[in-house]
Structure 1
Amino acid sequence: MYFTYIIRCKDDSLYTGYTSDINRRMKEHETGINSKYTKAKGFDKLEVYFETDTKSKAMKLESRIKKLTRKKKIDVIENPNFYINEIGERGNYFIGSY
């Protein structure tokens, strides 16, 4: 399994990434390991994640989300199902949030 995720930093900025181990990656963000961005900005919380079966799909979704405006990223957080349907990827992702 692979995951694309959006986290909120302590300064209210949003960070998007992908990983094969969501729990390990969140611990890394919390401690500032392997991410200059979250080390500098501080990790607040995982907002939403998308689970898929291939690294390629996770990376593609990460790239798409990173190109969005902040407002659109907030829309994705608030209604991830709508976003997945909008980009025509329904059935390719499981959506989770904390």
Structure 2
Amino acid sequence: MTGFFHVYILKCYDGIYYVGRTNDLYRRIKKHNNGEVEYTQSRRPVRMIYYCSFENQFLAIQFEKYLKSGSGRAFMKRHLI
């Protein structure tokens, strides 16, 4: 059995939103808050405001790409954050 793949949205201390994907959500958020992720290192602390899980890695990748697109950002602002 394979694990789940998670797409998550973080709100950074400076108000910036970060979209990411992982197969170990707890470990990844911990890395963000420990300063081990370059993009969020100077924007700590970060707070997870949304996540969703997929059994299929391809679907998780597609959803992450969508959220990072222009229409995905608009969807995110209207419905998720």
TM range (shorter): 0.7 to 0.9
CA RMSD of aligned residues (A): 1.6
Runs of 4+ in 1 over 3 A off after TM superposition: 68-72
Q: How many residues align?
A: 77
1:77 is displaced (CA, Å) by 1.6
Question: Among 23, 26, 29, which residue is 1:26 paired with?
Answer: 29
Aligned to 1:49: 51
Whole-Å Cα distance in 2 between the matches of residues 39 and 76 of structure 1?
27
Whole-Å Cα distance in 1 between the matches of residues 59 and 32 of structure 2?
22
Whole-Å Cα distance in 2 between the matches of residues 37 and 53 of structure 1?
27
Unaligned 5+ segments in structure 1 are: 79-98
TM-score by length of 2: 0.83
Whole-Å Cα distance in 1 between the matches of residues 57 and 42 of structure 2?
27
Unaligned 5+ segments in structure 2 are: none
